[in-house]
Chains A and B, each alone.
Chain A
Amino acid sequence: MDEIVEEFLVESYENLDRLDADLLALEEDPSRPDLLASIFRSIHTIKGTCGFLGYAKLERVAHVAESLLSRLRDGQFMLTPEIATALLRLVDAVRLMLASIEANGTDGDGDWSDLVAQLEALQQSGGSPAAPAATEAASGATAVSAASTASAPAALRAAGAVEALAGAVAGPGSPAAAVGAQAVNGTGASGGAGGNPISPVLLADAGAPANRVSANGSDGTARAPTASFEPGGALPAEPAPAPAGDPDGGDRLGELLVAAGSVTSEAVILANYAQQLGDERRIGEVLVDHGATNQDEVNEALQAQKERRGSVSDSSVRVDVGLLDDLMNLVSELVLARNQILQHSASRDTVASGTFQRLNLITTEFQEAVMKTRMQPIRNVWSKFPRVVRDLAMACGKQVRVEMEGEHTELDKAIIEAIRDPLTHVIRNAVDHGIEAPEKRLAAGKPAEGHLRLRAYHESGQVNIEVSDDGRGIDPERVRAKAVERGLLTEAHSRELGERELVAMIFSPGFSTAEQVTNVSGRGVGMDVVKTNIEKIGGTVDIQSELGRGTTLKVKIPLTLATIPAFIVTSGGERYAIPQANLVELVRVEADQSDSAIEDIHGAPVYRLRGRLLPLVYLDETLGVAGAPEGRSAVSIVVLKVNDRTFGLVVDDVNDTEEIVVKALGEHVKGIPAFAGATIMGDGRVALILDVLGLARQGHVVGEQRSDAAAASAMHGGAQAEDATTSLLIVATAHRRRTLAIPLAEVTRLEKFPGDALEVAGHHTVVRYGNRILPLVDLSAMVDAGSGSLSGRTQLNVVVHGTGESSVGLVVDEVVDIVQERVEVQGASAGSSGLAGAAIIRGGVVDLVDIEQIVAEAGIADLVGAAEEVVA
């Protein structure tokens, strides 16, 4: 793309981001001419450049907006929510057109004529003249109507009639006061102001501070009318607002001091007053002199002021991210070279080793510095949220105030990108579901305005992000009911869960408690995706909710994606890295135990880990590489968890954890599901990074066909997930006419017996099993009511159930598979005994075997448990 266009796009996007923020801030406080000036400049820049580049449509839209803004700036009317909404719409339109320019070089074929018409109409009519509106409010209009005209933010904030009235009372006085201010300062914002004693422009300047004063007591209301009777008089209005167009208005020392809580706004107003009366000292000195504050606090504020002004200066350089990535790669190389040198440095003389030490130190610092270049403040994501919240709150008829804390907290750029969508979703959820409508809030004894708080901070090498609202909270009972209704939990199981676990159910796929599906949220695809996306970048999500008090969502994410902690294992003589996020624990099985500890279910190795069967995958077999020689001394099982499925990876050796830099694989090898990438180890050799999910699939621990389901059900938190999925042994009977599933927990072993091993004891067919008698039950005879006798077969596949004296062997025709799945039992299969019901497993209907019933009905209870030594 053309370099000029590219520059234009980058610049315009930045302008738009600032526009969003400025518009919202202006709506909050219309008395900030600096904001208006900044908004005007941004639009003007966009208009100018796109006209030059020949984007006619964009220019047209920007032009009407500019005209409207110039009227606002000239004070012909002031910003109303209506105008703010139209201008925000404009920002969206410009954004769309910029995206189109970026994509195909034209400003798109969107039709913006209605937006243009709207802006033009507003330009003609404007907001209603301010002073009459204020009078209207005074004459008993509702707080809402006051909000839409004169003092929007104040009325929105309190919605109390008292304050609205206070504003209205101040209203008529302030224009005159403002004119007074104008007379003193001698700065005419517009020629019209002089001719019209009630100048709305200056109302914007003076009105709000007057409100503040008047709300504080009778003093303000008394003084304002006085001023109004002497429009041209020397008595200046107290606020002495920055003249329109003063770009520094937003960081005036007085305001900073008030914001820091060092002085009261009254003290600043007094000091301003003193200045206007001829005190030529700077405001800080005046304030100190008045005893309102001390020098230290003034110095601090001055410093803050300098920083704020500095941020717009030329102290930064725009750098292409690609260049930073290159730099990052070079640093990684340097680190590797450093590591290689360090390995040899032991043998060198002292001078050399001292130099190595320094090289080591410098490299580490260099690496950190380069990492830092990729860091961005979280504000870059958050800055969009006030807008999102505003639009949403308006759409839902709610009042929400956004508060941010720690917006300077820095994160890697890649992570910033990755958390943008999940966080947006969380915020939308909080406004849509969390915060109640104003009347409900008032009824619950809360302020009408909801409070959404974003907080970010560093903690032990991670970034914590909290999103809390003071809304209705999550009702565990409703979650329980919903989860049962959606079939995510069984009724019985849901009773066992604690409140916290229930609340965590909202992260399950297909879960949504919104009674009404809005266009905002409630489609049930929200929170699970949030969780998946956060987990994808190695983060965790936690939710705490107090019914009626609010909800806090806590996200923990790593600082950077450039390096990940990984666990290094060896198999077949090669090293492999496993992302530590997947690691659960390590189990070492000594050589003398490994035979008994690792059992075999029809070719599928399992390990009993604290009573649970852990399916095993041998890394060497799965990758088709030669493993350690037979009779390996000890086996290491790396217990891994992916998509809430746990399995054990058997490796030759476990090495260590290391921070690794993930690199993509080349064209020829990137299609292999077992690998997620590669990295370069400290010794300079390449090691492959294992893709745990791909590996699980390759090892058939997670079924290929269930990949989608597995991804969708990735959201189960902890305990309930393990309970919700059941490991099943799939068997076929009667020449595969029927597929049956036996819970794996009920299966002790799988055995094959030759046909001639069958013997008869009493009325039952039995085989010798070790030194015991194992009664056999023909499963197909039981469930299919028929089938031939067991004799005459050359080989029998037997599923051994129970242990020791109470073992029973179920004869099946074939063992098909082992699956681990969430099973929804869909009622008993009609006409068959011994079945607990049917379920859909891997896309087919499978009957679930009720082993207890089978054993009972086979009438072998007399045999089971009858401990008889077999007499050979």
Chain B
Amino acid sequence: MKVLIVGGGKPLYFLCRNFTAKGYEVVIINRNKNECVQLARQLRAVVVCGDGSDAQVLKEAGALGADAVLAITPNDQDNLIICQLASLKFGVPRAVALANDPDNAEVFEKLGVSAFSTTHIVGSLIEQRASLEQIINLLPVGEGLVNVTEIVLDAGSPVAGKVLKDIDLPDNALIAVVIRDNQPIVPRGANDLRAGDRLVLITLPENHGTVLKSFTGESR
């Protein structure tokens, strides 16, 4: 897998380190000469110094054979143009832009560019984590469209002692795994839930709150 990342700063550094550790071939494009020198020293990646929204620079960085382009500069306009050039001119199958202004995430999608907003993701993460104490883990997947949540049932839970088929779950929610005494069980309708069980839930952001409430009984 060959990935082009345009941007700088810590997000780029750690993203790149993560990718190279997975064995991806990474090319970095950065405008700042000094930062390029630093990055080239610190990372196992090819560093191209230049403007990523310039077709010539993208070409030099090997956009033609790239599997993905990530544009994470602090300027939304640059991120949009980089991704459009990558897909229109170089046929890169996956181009993803960071929307610094959260409103632009939707704008970019409408203009045909996949986008994500860290403000959205971090914001909803903090909200969801802060809202309930029994949540051990929350992981947004599919660009934040799906949540995977781990919770512990306490004795006060309205579902403790119930059989799964008697629990009224909202649409688009699932108890994926029940962990009891360190044994994971993929539950079926006849399985029961007990206090102390750890559940792995699949929810969507829109029903996340309702689903959690039905398990923990908290009215928040």
Do A and B truly interact? no
Residues of A participating in the B interface, judged by any CB pair closer than 8 Å: none
Which positions in B face A, CB cutoff 8 Å?
A: none
